[in-house]
Amino acid sequence: MRICVIYESVTGNTRMLAEVIQKKYADMLTENPQEADVIFLGSWTDKGSFSEKMREQAEKIRGKKVFIFGTCGFGGSREYYERLFERAAALLDGSNEIIGHYYCQGKMPLSVKERYVFMLQEHPEDKRMQASLENFEEALTHPDQKDLDRLSELLDELKLA
Ligand SMILES: Cc1cc2nc3c(=O)[nH]c(=O)nc-3n(C[C@H](O)[C@H](O)[C@H](O)COP(=O)(O)O)c2cc1C
């Protein structure tokens, strides 16, 4: 069985997940998606979905087993992760079989925090902005070792290797 990992990571969070996958299947990897049986498709989250580049990649895949993974800034909500997964899954052609998915939180650039702080200075009572700032701090340590271990366990359950 051949495995191909296709992903985009701008600041390195999604790459951390991709590296867990690449390490797990080191002797089964191919760089050519055409000759892969299983494609691991990963993206950072851009405006609530796969990045533009990964959307294009997703739409091209035909007849493969596909595992979707990604990181996003907003954590703490399983529903949000599920929604992101469903949006990514909807990009795939019906000839593919989705075999699993994994999302976790990923740290965001400092510029995001600066924007929150600025907006809180303007509107100190803004509860949504307060929650966003708390979420920013929470995200700073992710993906952490626990996130990576959880992915690794999920891969073991797939029994591909
Ligand atoms: C332009 C931009 C848009 C983003 N949009 C979202 C979003 O809609 N939802 C979310 O949860 N995180 C969003 N994020 C946060 C990133 O998806 C998150 O930090 C991710 O872990 C980055 O992954 P990477 O390090 O692999 O690039 C956004 C980040 C940027 C820079």
Burial letters for 124-143: b for 16+ Cβ neighbours within 10 Å, e otherwise? eeeeebeebbebbeebeebb
57 and 100 part of one domain: yes
What does DSSP say about strands 65-72 and 3-8: parallel, antiparallel, or unpaired? unpaired
Closest ligand 1 atom, residue 10 Cα: 27
CB 56 within 8 A of CB 31: no
Cβ(43) – ligand 1 distance below 6 Å? no
Does the pLDDT value for residue 94 go beyond 80? yes
pLDDT at 53: 98
pLDDT at 1: 96
Q: How far apart are CA 127 and CA 36, in angstroms?
A: 47
pLDDT at 113: 97
Nearest CA to ligand 1 atom 8: 47
Does the pLDDT value for residue 56 go beyond 80? yes
CB 89 within 8 A of CB 50: no
Instruction: Count up the domains in the chain and report the number.
Output: 2
Domain that holds residue 130: 108-141
Does the pLDDT value for residue 76 go beyond 80? no
pLDDT at 161: 83
46 and 125 part of one domain: no
129 and 58 part of one domain: no
122 and 135 part of one domain: yes
pTM > 0.95: yes or no:
yes
Closest ligand 1 atom, residue 75 Cα: 11
Does the pLDDT value for residue 15 go beyond 90? yes
35 and 52 part of one domain: yes
Cβ(45) – ligand 1 distance below 6 Å? yes
* Cα 108 to ligand 1 centroid, rounded to whole Å: 7
102 and 112 part of one domain: no
CB 49 within 8 A of CB 55: yes
Cβ(12) – ligand 1 distance below 6 Å? yes
pLDDT at 79: 96
* Cα 45 to ligand 1 centroid, rounded to whole Å: 4
CB 102 within 8 A of CB 69: yes
pLDDT in tens, 105-114: 999 999 999 9
